[in-house]
A and B are shown apart, each in its own frame.
Chain A
Amino acid sequence: MTIKVLNALLAVLGGVAGAIVLYYLLNKLAELLPGKWEDRVKPYLYLLPALAAIGLYLIYPTIQTFVYSFANARSTEFVGFDNYINLLGSSGFQNTLFNTFLWILIVPAGAIILGLLIATLADRLKPKGEKFSKTLIFLPMAIGAVSAGAIWRFVYASNPPTQDQIGLLNGIVTGFGGEPVNWLQISGFRFNSLLLMVMLLWLQAGFAMVLLSAAIKGVPTETLEAARLDGAGEGAIFFRIVIPQIRTTLITVFITVLIGVLKTFDIVYVMTNGNFNTNVIAVDFFNQLFTNNNAGYAAAIVVMLLIIMIPVLVFQVRQFRAEEAAR
């Protein structure tokens, strides 16, 4: 164990010192070049390590994944569109896509509504109460999905009716005289998926709340007072004055949560591992790769995930360019 600690410390020191030496050398290298060339080359040398990391760990593998998605399970032979055709034709994968679609539909909107609700309510408290309640709701952000899995086990757990319940929900149900329910196995109306979504909302609502709250506080007081003088009610002020002015933040929160939703792996993996009709695309990817040892299917799944992301990507880039133009 001491070796590991030393190892990690060495990595930190070595990594930082190595980076400093590297940039020093790159800079020296640029300075060796004659006048004009120094200025031309230097930016690229400063960018080189970051671009190398991005190229090696994101761009190259993405292209390679695309290639693998047209190859067989062990990536030894090309199979054309077979992976895509087989996946899209299987009812299991269709179900997975449908579930993923539900997550996309429900979680970002839910996070925004919850975030707005909490932000608006907390805004009316005294500063101390506001800070305290916000911290409580923001805290799950630090907890992470695996620990959240441990926490929510004790909410959704179910014992046979003859025993005492240890899950909170069933504790409440039986307390009112009901029969215990095996929550995570009810796939009708995708109820169990909804329960898993509640966990993600629990983790992410704080994020939405903090950003939206900052935006709401930034709405100029004059516009609010003007509206009040004109006799607008609180509801009208909220929907017609506040919401339009925090539009950019609403979009940002929506996109950030959406990206998180599409990547959602841990929650489903630790709670049901995609069983009982709760599978989502990221878990299916993992199981194809490691349980079924099918790199071709895994690659095809992730390429489809990427395709789902393209509209978001285009939007994000557009948004960025508009912001840059406004700078």
Chain B
Amino acid sequence: MSGTQAVTPTPVQLPKETPYAGKAGRRRGVAEVGKSPLWVRIVLALICIAWVVPTFGLAITSFRGQEDATTSGWWTIFTTPANFTRLTFENYSEVFTRANMGEAFVNSLAITIPATIIPILIAAFAAYAFTFMQFPGRDLLLIVIVGLLVVPTQVALVPLLKIYGTLGMNGTFPAVWLAHVGFGMPLAVYIIRNYMATLPREVIESAKIDGASHFQTFWKLILPMSTPVLASFAIFQFLWVWNDLLNALVFVGPGNNQPLTIALVQLLGQQGQGWQLLTAGGLFTMIVPILVFLSLQRYFVRGMTAGAVKG
């Protein structure tokens, strides 16, 4: 890790801005510019349709009454006009009253937001120490963290359940917050450190010469400069925690504190009669992550490339 390396980008295959991440069309890839034969467009259109149709079917079904949803396919609204005119918002109101999705939504927020925000600062401090400080055991600790990226978190569940059991923490929000903080920490430290390692070292050196302490350098220089990677980790963690079923089942379980994923699984369990509610519930569960994803997609992609391929 020499000082000069940090200024000139390391030789990865990633350009700084891919057309996908922003500035469209500045640099074309392998293919020549503007050359898209008809078959390419057809094949891609077919793939896109195949990708969207399942979700589209769910969306349509969520507006169909119980009778319609269980006795005819969603596509019949295009062939049978009567089916189209019977579309209704009823499922959505019912999913709140009968399946208690409203409370589950609040629970999901209450679980996800702390579990997303709290690890960031902790990981950033650790990443700072790994990047800008010298100390014995640094490389070993870092390697342990890289190794833990691979370890499935299921490994931790049985002992944690027992510990939580003795502490009486099972079923509470802090139980699941702390679990997500712990489970997300290796990835957080890893991607934030990878990003910090690409920051120009001269800035830190000159701050040191000006007499700034590590604490000041961290708050005033490194943390603001790292906002992109902090944002991308936050999106990762948000989507992960919001969509998480396993830890929610293990540490929270069904009941008053259940998040949307558990509420939805219960709807999935009811064969037949609850299916139209399942669709409304499913769509409702997807809204927040999709909004987060679409509005912050650019950060997400950048973080992914930085985290997975290294920045």
Q: Is B212 an interface residue (CB 8 A)?
A: no
Contact, CB under 8 Å: B24 / A128: yes
Query: Which of B42-50, B86-94, B225-233 lies on the face that meets chain A?
Result: B42-50
Closest A residue to B291 using CB positions: A142
Interface residue ranges of B45-61 to A (CB < 8 Å)? 47-48, 51-55, 57-58, 61
Contact, CB under 8 Å: A210 / B20: yes
- A202-B51 CB under 8 A given contacts A54-B148, A124-B40, A147-B285: yes
Contact, CB under 8 Å: A302 / B293: no
Contact, CB under 8 Å: B44 / A122: yes
Closest B residue to A308 using CB positions: B152
Q: Which of A5, A44, A123, A144 contacts B242 (CB 8 A)?
A: A144
Q: Which has the most chain B C-beta neighbours within 10 Å: A47, A135, A155, A266?
A: A47
Closest A residue to B32 using CB positions: A124
Which A-B residue pairs are the 8 nearest by beta carbons?
A57-B182, A144-B243, A150-B282, A127-B24, A142-B293, A50-B126, A61-B156, A218-B13
Q: Which has the most chain B C-beta neighbours within 10 Å: A214, A286, A309?
A: A214
Q: Number of contact residues on A: which range applies?
A: 35 or more
Contact, CB under 8 Å: B286 / A266: no
Interface residue ranges of A268-326 to B (CB < 8 Å)? 269-270, 282, 285-286, 289-290, 295, 298-299, 302-303, 305-306, 309, 312-313, 316-317, 320-321, 323-324, 326
Q: Is A87 an interface residue (CB 8 A)?
A: no
Q: Which of B133, B158, B304 contacts A211 (CB 8 A)?
A: B304
CA distance A19 to B223 in the complex (A): 15
Q: Which has the most chain B C-beta neighbours within 10 Å: A65, A127, A218, A269?
A: A218
The smallest C-beta distance from B118 to any residue of chain A, in angstroms, reads 4
- A309-B152 CB under 8 A given contacts A266-B245, A317-B143: yes
- A144-B239 CB under 8 A given contacts A16-B121, A131-B20: yes
Contact, CB under 8 Å: B30 / A131: no
Contact, CB under 8 Å: B73 / A171: yes
Which residues of A does B touch, CB under 8 Å?
1, 4-5, 7-8, 11-12, 15-16, 19-20, 23-24, 27, 31, 40, 42-44, 46-47, 49-51, 53-54, 56-62, 64-65, 68, 75, 117-118, 120-131, 133-147, 149-155, 163-168, 171, 202, 207, 210-211, 213-219, 224, 237-238, 242, 245-246, 248-249, 252-253, 255-256, 259, 262-263, 265-266, 269-270, 282, 285-286, 289-290, 295, 298-299, 302-303, 305-306, 309, 312-313, 316-317, 320-321, 323-324, 326-327
Q: Which of B128, B157, B290, B310 contacts A323 (CB 8 A)?
A: B310
Contact, CB under 8 Å: B309 / A238: no
| Contacting residues, chain B, for A238 (C-beta < 8 A) | 30
The 13 sampled A-B contact pairs (Cβ below 8 Å) are A57-B156, A123-B31, A127-B24, A130-B19, A137-B47, A146-B268, A150-B58, A202-B51, A211-B308, A249-B309, A265-B154, A285-B154, A305-B154
- A58-B110 CB under 8 A given contacts A151-B282, A286-B246: no
Interface residue ranges of B92-125 to A (CB < 8 Å)? 102-103, 106-107, 109-111, 113-114, 117-119, 121-123, 125
CA distance A12 to B115 in the complex (A): 8
| Contacting residues, chain B, for A298 (C-beta < 8 A) | 158
Q: Render B166-185 as a binary contact track against A, CB cut-off 8 A, 1 for contact.
A: 00000001100111011101
Q: Which of B47, B52, B246, B293 contacts A266 (CB 8 A)?
A: B246
Q: Which of B53, B114, B130, B265 contacts A168 (CB 8 A)?
A: B53
The smallest C-beta distance from A275 to any residue of chain B, in angstroms, reads 13
CA distance A131 to B17 in the complex (A): 14
Q: Is B81 an interface residue (CB 8 A)?
A: no
How many chain B residues touch A (Cβ–Cβ < 8 Å)? 136
CA distance A321 to B140 in the complex (A): 11
Q: Which has the most chain A C-beta neighbours within 10 Å: B135, B158, B304?
A: B158
Number of A-B contacts (CB under 8 A): 400
| Contacting residues, chain A, for B286 (C-beta < 8 A) | 142-144, 147
Contact, CB under 8 Å: A62 / B156: yes
CA distance A219 to B18 in the complex (A): 12
- SS of B interface (majority): helix
Q: Which has the most chain B C-beta neighbours within 10 Å: A53, A150, A270?
A: A150
- A166-B18 CB under 8 A given contacts A44-B135, A121-B44, A144-B242: no
CA distance A275 to B182 in the complex (A): 32
Q: Which of A16, A50, A143 contacts B125 (CB 8 A)?
A: A50
Contact, CB under 8 Å: B154 / A42: no
Q: Which of B29, B55, B281, B305 contacts A123 (CB 8 A)?
A: B29
Interface residue ranges of B275-311 to A (CB < 8 Å)? 275, 278-279, 281-283, 285-286, 289-290, 292-294, 297, 301, 304-305, 308-310
- A309-B110 CB under 8 A given contacts A252-B309, A298-B158: no
Q: Which of A64, A122, A141 contacts B159 (CB 8 A)?
A: A64
Starting from the known contacts A12-B113, A75-B162, A171-B73, 9 additional A-B residue pairs (CB-CB under 8 Å) come to A4-B107, A43-B134, A137-B47, A142-B286, A150-B281, A154-B58, A218-B13, A295-B158, A320-B146
The smallest C-beta distance from A92 to any residue of chain B, in angstroms, reads 19
- A60-B159 CB under 8 A given contacts A142-B289, A145-B245, A238-B30: yes
Contact, CB under 8 Å: B150 / A217: no
| Contacting residues, chain A, for B174 (C-beta < 8 A) | 11
Q: Is B12 an interface residue (CB 8 A)?
A: yes
Contact, CB under 8 Å: A16 / B117: yes
The smallest C-beta distance from B7 to any residue of chain A, in angstroms, reads 12
Contact, CB under 8 Å: A155 / B57: yes
Closest B residue to A11 using CB positions: B114
Q: Which has the most chain B C-beta neighbours within 10 Å: A50, A126, A154, A167?
A: A50
